[in-house]
Structure 1
Amino acid sequence: MTAETTGAAETTEPPEVAARPALMETVGLTRHFRVGGGLSRRTLHAVDDVSLVIRDREIVALVGESGSGKSTLARLLAQVYPPTSGEIRYRGRSLATLRGRRAKLAYRSDVPMVFQDPFSSLNPAYRVSHGILRGLALHRPELGRAERRAEAERVAEAVGLAPAAEILDRYPHELSGGQRQRIGFAQALAYRPRLILADEPVSMLDVSIRIGLLNVMTQLREREGVSILYITHDIASARYVADRLLVMYGGHVVESGPTEAVLAGPRHPYTQLLLSAVPDPRAPLEVDAAAARSDPPAVIDPAPGCRFRARCPLAVDACHALTPRLRELGPAHDAACHVAEADDPTPRAAATPA
C-alpha cells in the first residue's frame, strides 16, 4: 500500500443481507473539481475512492458534516456529475455503458432524487400536481391523461397527503414545508423507482414534523419495495430509519456497518465525535473537546494521510503518512483507522502519538 492509497474495502455483510440482490454499487468512485485559475489552479477532492453497495429494499444512511462529500456522492449516482474515475453499477450494469435517451430516462426513472429544499424544487407558478403529471408523461408515456391523474393521486396518498385530489390542486405556497417535501417523495414515487436518493430531505423542516417524513421513507420501503439512500448530518434520524450506516469525512467513507452495531460500538474517532453531539444512554461516548474545535478537513490538494488527523486526539505517526483503508473490525463492520482495534470499540494509540 502506498502513501497515496485512499481506499475502501468490500464489507462483509450478514447472510440475510448479503443474500439480497445488489441494486447499486460503486467501485473506487472519485470526483475531483478544479478550483482557482491560471497558475493558482488546484484540485478539490470532493469524493475519493468510495466503494459501496445498496441492496434491494434497503435503507442506507450516509452521514457526515457539511463538506464531507455526501451530496456530491448523491449527484454522482444521479448522473448530475460524471465521475473523475471509478465505476457506478446499477443492477450489475455499468452506467458508463448507458447509451441513448431512452436508456438514460429509464435510469433516472429508477433512481430519482429528492432534494433538500422542498420549496425551490417546486415551480411556484404551477399547481403541485404539475411536476408529478409532467414526470409521468415523460417517464411513463403509456399512461393516458386520466390514468396519470389517478396515479398522481395514488402516490400522493402513499406519502400521507390527504385528501390527495385537493392537495394536488394547490400551489406550493399553500402547503406547509412538510407537505411540500412529501410532494417531492410523491413525484419520485410516481416514476416507479427502485432507489430514491434523498439528500437531506428533513433538514429544513421543524423537528415536530421530521418524524412524519422519516416514517414515509420506511413505509415506502415496506409498501413499495423501494431502496433509499438517506443523506443526513443527523445521526439520530439515521438510527431511526436506516438498516446500514456509512460515515463520510473529507471525501472518504471512514466507517460502515449495520446501524446499531456502528452506533453502539463506533470504531472511528470521527463517528465518536458525531455521537458525542447526540448522547445516548446505551452507548456513552466521550470525544476530546479540542477535536470538535479544530479546522474542517483539507480537501484541496490534500496530502497523504488520514484527513481526520488534525482533529483526532489519538493520531499517531502513521496517520500523517498513510491514508487508512477500510478494514473489517467486526461482523459486517468496517473502519478506516490506523489505531482502531477489532476487539475494542474505543480506538487506542498503537504507536507514539504524533
Structure 2
Amino acid sequence: MTDVPLLQTVGLTRHFRMGTGLRRARLHAVDDVDVMIREREIVALVGESGSGKSTFARLLAQVHRPTAGEIHYRGRPLSRLRGRREKLAYHGDVPMVFQDPFSSLNPAHRVAHGILRGLKLHRPELDGPARRAEAERVTEAVGLTPAAEVLQRFPYELSGGQRQRVGFAQALAYRPKLILADEPVSMLDVSIRIGLLNVMTRLRETEGVSVLYITHDIAGARYVSDRLLVMYGGHVVESGPTEEVLADARHPYTRLLLSAVPDPRAPLDVGAEAARTDPPQLIDPAPGCRFRARCPLAVDACAQVTPRLTELAPAHSAACHMAA
C-alpha cells in the first residue's frame, strides 16, 4: 500500500433543497464526512435506512455533486478533473454496483451487451475479439460458468444472485480500483448472499480492487470488511477495524445496533426499541448530536455542540461527547 489513500473525502457534504419560496428548506443527507479507503481494502459502511449511506456512495460515483467538501482520488481532487477523458477514466476506476440486480440490467439485451459496451467505452484499446475474450474472463471471475453460455442469456433467464454477479462482472471489466457496492445482497435470499460476499473478497485477492460495501447487515460487514464505518443522520459516528469496533463499540448508536443483534452473525434488525423513537431531524437540523433523542448517555452538551469524529484508540474513532 502507498502512503497516499486510494480515495479520501474531506468535509464531504450533500444537502437537497426542499420546498419553494418562504418554505424553502434543506435536507442534510450527508454532512461533513471524512473517510479514507486504501488500496486492496474492503470498507463496510453500516447504518439504518435513511442514514445517508447511498447518498454518500452516489457522491463518490459523481451521480450527485457535493454541496461542500472534496473527494480526493489518489491524491487529486475530483473537482480538478477536466474533460471527458479524465472523467471517464475516473468512472472506469470507481464503478458502482447497484442494489437491484434486475433494474440495473437492460432486459431487452443479452448479458454480453452491457459488458461489451462498457469495454468499448472504457477500454478502447481492445479490438472485437479481445473484448469478447475479456467479457468471458470477467464473467468467469465472478463465478458465472460456462461464461460463453451466460453471456448469451437475457437477464430474465438468470436468478437474482446471477444477475448481481453480472453487475460485478460489468464493473470488473473496466479494470476498477474501487467498486462501490450499494447493498448488493439486500434483495437476495440469505442462502445466496454468502456467495456474493465471497465474490467481493475474491476480487480483492485476485484483481487487487478495493470495495466500499454499503449495507445494513452487520453480519455481512463482519464477514468481508477490514474496516467498519457506522453512519447515522448523515454523519459517520464511528470508524475503526471491524473486529475492534464490534468488540469495543464506543458510540451509543453502534451499541444499539449490536444490542439488537446479540450474535453479529445474524442479520441486522434494530427492533422495537429503536422503532419507538423518532428518526433524526435532517431538515435544517440545529447544532448538536443527531442521536441524542435516542441516547441513554445524552448530556446538555449533546443538544448544543455537534460532536466531531475523534480518535479514541489507534485507528478507532467515534463522534460522541461521552465516548472514552
- State the SS of the aligned residue for 1:62: strand
Which AA in structure 2 matches 1:108?
H
Instruction: Kindly indicate whether the alpha-carbon contact (under 8 Å) linking 2:222 and 2:264 is maintained by their aligned counterparts in 1.
Output: no
Which of residues 239, 246, 257 is equivalent to 1:256? 239
Q: Does residue 47 in structure 1 map to residue 18 in structure 2?
A: no
Matched, 1:216 2:199: yes
Corresponding residue number in structure 2 for 1:102: 85
Is the CA contact 1:140–1:191 (under 8 Å) kept in the aligned structure 2? yes
- In the TM superposition, residue 291 of structure 1 has moved relative to its aligned partner by 4.6
Out of 69, 74, 85, the residue aligned to residue 86 of structure 1 is 69
Aligned to 1:25: 8
Which residue is 1:141 aligned to? 124
Secondary structure at the residue paired with 2:86?
A: helix
- Does 2:211 correspond to 1:228? yes
Superposed CA RMSD in Å reads: 1.5
Which amino acid counterpart does residue 275 of structure 1 have in structure 2? L
Quote how far apart the aligned CAs of 1:215 are: 0.2
Conservation of the 8 A alpha-carbon contact between 2:29 and 2:55 = yes
2:262 to 265, 270, 279: 279
Percent of paired sites with the same residue: 80
Q: Deviations over 1:41-84 (max 9, x none)?
A: 10000000001110000000000111111111101011111100
Deviation (angstroms), 1:112: 0.3
1:109-168 Cα shifts (integer Å, max 9, x gaps): 000000000000000000011000000000011111111111000000000000111011
Q: 1:195 aligns with which of 170, 178, 190?
A: 178
| Cα separation, 1, equivalents of 2:307 and 2:274 | 19
Other-structure match for 1:116 = 99
Q: Paired residue for 1:335?
A: 318
Cα deviation for residue 88 of structure 1 reads: 0.5
Q: Distance in 2 between matches of 1:297 and 1:144?
A: 52
The aligned counterpart of 1:175 is: 158
Distance 2:289 2:223 in 1: 30
Match of 2:296 among 313, 316, 327: 313
- Identify the match of residue 154 of structure 1 among 121, 129, 137: 137
Q: What SS does the corresponding residue of 1:80 show, helix, strand or coil?
A: coil
CA contact (8 A) 2:27 2:284 kept: yes
TM-score (ref. length: structure 2): 0.96
Moved over 6 A (4+): none
Q: Structure 2: which amino acid aligns with 1:113?
A: M
Contact kept in structure 1, 2:120 and 2:126, CA below 8 Å: yes
1:330 positional shift: 1.5
Q: Which residue of 2 aligns with 1:63?
A: 46
Determine the structure 2 residue equivalent to 1:7: none
Tell me the SS of whatever aligns to 2:12: strand
Secondary structure in 2 aligned to 1:22?
coil
CA distance in 2, matches of 1:78, 1:206: 27
CA shift for structure 1 position 292: 4.6
Counterpart amino acid of residue 165 in structure 2? R
State whether residues 124 and 173 of structure 1, in contact with CA within 8 Å, keep that contact through their aligned partners in structure 2.
Answer: yes
Q: Cα distance 1:272–1:141, how it changes in 2: closer, same or farther (>3 A)?
A: same
Q: C-alpha separation between the residues in 1 aligned to 2:275 and 2:219?
A: 18
Label 1:20 to 1:280 Cα distance change in 2 as closer, same or farther (>3 A). Answer: farther
Q: Check conservation: 1:291, 1:312, Cα contact below 8 A.
A: no
Question: For 2:4 and 2:178, how far apart are their aligned partners in 1?
Answer: 13
Partners of 2:261 and 2:132 lie apart in 1 by 43
**1:272-319 deviation line (CA, Å, top 9, x unaligned):** 11112221389xxxx997555201111000011000001111111111
Which ranges of structure 1 fall in alignment gaps of 5 or more residues? 1-16, 342-354
**How far 1:322 sits from its partner (Å)?**
0.6
Q: Which of the residues 148, 162, 169 maps onto 1:186?
A: 169
Match of 1:14 in 2: none
Q: Secondary structure at the match of 2:179?
A: strand
Q: Runs of 5+ in structure 2 lacking a partner?
A: none
* Alpha-carbon separation, structure 1, partners of 2:260 and 2:271: 12
CA distance 1:20–1:155, shift in 2 (3 Å): farther
Contact 1:111 1:196 in 2 (8 A): yes
For the residues of structure 2 that align with 1:293 and 1:278, how far apart are their CA atoms?
Answer: 17
What corresponds to 1:130 in structure 2? 113
Partner amino acid, structure 2, of 1:44: L
